[in-house]
Amino acid sequence: MLLLIDDNLTICEVVKKLFSGVYDLRITHTAAEGWAALEANAASVKAILLDWELPDQNGIDFLRKLKQDSRFRLTPVLMLTGRTDEKDIEAGIAAGALYYVTKPFDHRILSALVETALRDFSSAHKTSTVRLSDYESLLTELSFRFSTVSQAGALSQLLAEYCPSPDAARLGLHELLVNAIEHGNLEISHAEKSKLLGEGTLPDEMARRQNVAPYANRSASVRMIRTSEEVRFIIRDQGPGFNYKAFLNLSADRAFAQHGRGIALARSLSFDHLSYVPPGNEVHGRITVPRSAS
């Protein structure tokens, strides 16, 4: 279900025309109505379109409350706002808003961002079909090599099952493993991806690169080390590296972009510690195991 919380009737009508028949859309006009809809549909709300200024509560305050609730911590929120001041955007990012749409908005941009948010978080809602061994409790280390995005997705599901919070881990692992193929081995830069997404040719270009030098023979690896205190991941690709420092946090200048927030998502929602090794083709992630789960 897609939930809209906005008191502007014109905006509501536009969103209704845009998404009715595409998604199960629920429209509410106040923070109280929005929260009631969340409570009643906690398991089915996949994304939220949230107005910055609601009649009964500031949208940022609503967002903070939302992200403090474990049921909705991983639910993507798209802020609908006329505010483009950098300080306002940074405040929203700090509260948990990773997607922004300016009012008045372009229908194509809003549709693309909703699709992006749902895609970014889809891995967290997948039910793994992998059956764990009866000897799972004895396992301390796993290591895999992979070379495609589909393999990265499957491994993120498998490895997440060994973590204290599988849904959160699955989201971050998916972003990092796909990044190792897409931006690492295939060397598709942020700017190139923007262009390819705009043209609708990203899958074609990825397929092309996987069959030509120097990309064709590259693979990536993921190693999981599990102890009673933590689960650690080491992910390596065979690319030349990239400017990872620019992507550890979501910056105001990328808040409205269709992509480029995966590492920030992983760092803020999935791992207790995340760090890259220069030049950027190796990343280490650590998840603490709560005492009660050890």
If you write DSSP's letter for every residue of the chain in order, what string do you get?
-EEEE---HHHHHHHHHHHBTTB-EEEESSHHHHHHHHHHTTTT--EEEEESB-SSSBHHHHHHHHHTSTTTTT--EEEEES---HHHHHHHHHHT--EEEESS--HHHHHHHHHHHHHHHHGGGPPP-PPPPTTGGG--EEEEEE-SHHHHHHHHHHHHTTSSSHHHHHHHHHHHHHHIIIIIIS---HHHHHHHHHHT-HHHHHHHHTTSTTTTT--EEEEEEE-SSEEEEEEE-SS----GGGGSS--GGGTTSSS--HHHHIIIII-SEEEEETTTTEEEEEEEPPGGG-
pLDDT at 107: 84
pLDDT at 88: 82
- Domain holding 39: CATH number? 3.40.50.2300
Same domain, 164 and 220: yes
> Which structural domain, as residue segments, surrounds residue 166?
132-293
Same domain, 284 and 160: yes
Averaged pLDDT, groups of 10, the chain, 294 residues long? 94 92 94 96 93 92 92 90 80 84 82 87 63 63 94 93 93 96 95 91 95 95 95 97 90 74 91 96 96 62
What's this model's pTM, rounded to 2 decimal places?
0.75
Same domain, 287 and 183: yes
- Domain holding 153: CATH number? 3.30.565.10
Same domain, 35 and 82: yes
Same domain, 115 and 166: no
Same domain, 45 and 118: yes
Same domain, 103 and 223: no
How far apart are the C-alpha atoms of 249 and 270, rounded to whole Å?
14
Q: Which of 91, 124, 157 is the last residue of a domain?
A: 124
pLDDT at 294: 46
Same domain, 86 and 136: no
Q: Which of 85, 105, 124 is the last residue of a domain?
A: 124
Same domain, 224 and 285: yes
Number of domains in the chain: 2
Same domain, 248 and 289: yes
pLDDT at 129: 54
Same domain, 163 and 68: no
Same domain, 109 and 166: no
Q: Which of 84, 105, 124 is the last residue of a domain?
A: 124
